[in-house]
Amino acid sequence: MGTADNAMGGSYGAREFGPRDWAGAPWRRSGSRWTAFEIIAMVLGFIVFWPIGLAILGYKFWQRRNGGPDLQTLATNKWQDARTMMSSNSSAWGCGASNRARGYYGASTGNAAFNEWRTAELTRLDEERRKLDEAQREFSEYVEAIRRAKDREEFDRFMAERRARPASGSSAN
């Protein structure tokens, strides 16, 4: 070995890594190892729509630099958040202003007086909406009754005119 090899620590500056050196390498310490899920997601992302794959790759670089959950944990958490939000909104679609207030306008504001007023106003608005829906239904029934009466009147007039016409083919022979 020459002097340059000795100074650099081996042939062409290469350094031998032992098991501890490999595990403790600075680029491996970040904890952002690629999982099979992330690799598959990235490849499928590039196949389906390339910005998806690029976003996954960017997320992994961001994760390496800033830390954070792996992609599968992130996706699982976001999925659970979406399910929780949808289940809370589905209860708000039922009856009751208090459910609607929580579902549409978020949780309590921390001010009991405001929350009570908001619940009372939402209850009042729900009652007004119910009255409007009932009035609309009644009006639709009224318009339908008028149409039927008009149709009946036109049909009766047609039948009267038809009876009043002389029979045109039977008396000519």
The Cα–Cα gap between 159 and 154 comes to: 9
Whole-model pTM over 0.75:
no
pLDDT digits (tens, 9 = 90+) for 73-108: 888 888 888 888 888 765 555 544 445 545 555 667
Q: Check whether 33 has a pLDDT greater than 60.
A: yes
What's the chain's average pLDDT?
77
Rounded to 10°, the helix 97-105/112-164 angle is 110
Percentage of residues of the chain with pLDDT beyond 70: 67
Predicted pLDDT at 23: 56
How many percent of the chain have pLDDT more than 90?
32
Predicted pLDDT of residue 17: 58
d(CA 139, CA 61): 62
DSSP for 56-83 reads: HHHHHHHHHHH----HHHHHHHHHHHHH
